[in-house]
Amino acid sequence: MNLDLAGEAALVVGGARGLGLAIAKAFADEGCRVSVWDVAPDVAASVAGFGASSWQVDVTDANAVRTAAAETWARFGAVRHLVFAVGIGSGKFGFPFWQLDPADWDRVLRVNLVGAAVVAHAFAPRLAEQRAGTVLFLASVAGQIGSQTDPPYSASKAGLINFAQCAAKDLAPFGVRVNTLCPGMIKTPLNRSVWQAWHDRQPPEAQVDYETWATEKIGKLVPLNRWQTPEDMAAMAMFLASNRAANVTGQTINVDGGYVMHW
């Protein structure tokens, strides 16, 4: 797919693996100059295969984010596309929600929501000054349907969708577009951790393996009756970064096989 992105600079935060890595690779395939931030110590090794620059950054550390932002901007001269692909869960099965402890909420909200705001604060003034650019936040269908599986995760992604709409309104006068991408059912470590948390709460006779659990869930919830893939997310991310989406901002885009339908 040639979307006329060649030569532009893209930063993927949370790009060492999973959906973020697929998006970073897609930017590289489009001919972009790519930088990847991740808290993982092996971030440099993860992106070495497609020539991306890398920084080890914790998005909950505002000072580290500001420093990395200045270094990234200096390296590329400008950043045209910013993707926030960071996401963690509580690691527990949250139904009913009072089975969780209030302490289970703090880190999920700090990483998924406050972390996104910290990164946005570091880049928004520069994007506004250059009067061009795109921002994409990866949320989740769980942020739209009040998923009982992991309430802290769901609430953090709902907050992220709302923040993206605020940011889209603030940046629109400067020609900067902001959108949210919501994946559906994807085989990621986070998805598997949801199964594990559920599995560990079941009596032995009710336990099933991951593939059985996921297949049954997809059959019940996904009208297209198939997994979504990281490449599906990357394809939509490239479209939203391109001028073909020049009139698309403040939107919540579901790539979910029909899981979430509003009517």
Which of 41, 23, 148, 40 lies closest to 81, judged by CA? Answer: 23
Cβ count within 10 A of residue 140: 29
Residue 109 CA to residue 61 CA, distance in Å, equals 14
Determine how β-strand 33-38 pairs with β-strand 176-183.
unpaired
Which of 65, 53, 24, 58 lies closest to 40, judged by CA? Answer: 58
Take residue 238 and report the two structure tokens written for it. Answer: 């490239």
Answer yes or no: are the C-beta atoms of 87 and 14 closer than 8 Å: yes
Q: Among the options 123, 153, 198, 213, which is catalytic? A: 153
Residue 15 CA to residue 19 CA, distance in Å, equals 7
Take residue 76 and report the two structure tokens written for it. Answer: 């590329």
Whether 153 is catalytic: yes
Angle between helices 115-130 and 151-171 (to 10 degrees): 10
Which of 191, 182, 150, 164 lies closest to 258, judged by CA? Answer: 182
Strand-pairing partners, residue 181, are: 138, 253
Q: What stretch of H or E contains 56?
A: strand 53-56
What strands, in cross-sheet order, belong to the sheet with 81-84?
Answer: 53-56, 33-38, 9-13, 81-84, 133-138, 176-183, 252-255
Give the residue numbers marked as catalytic: 153
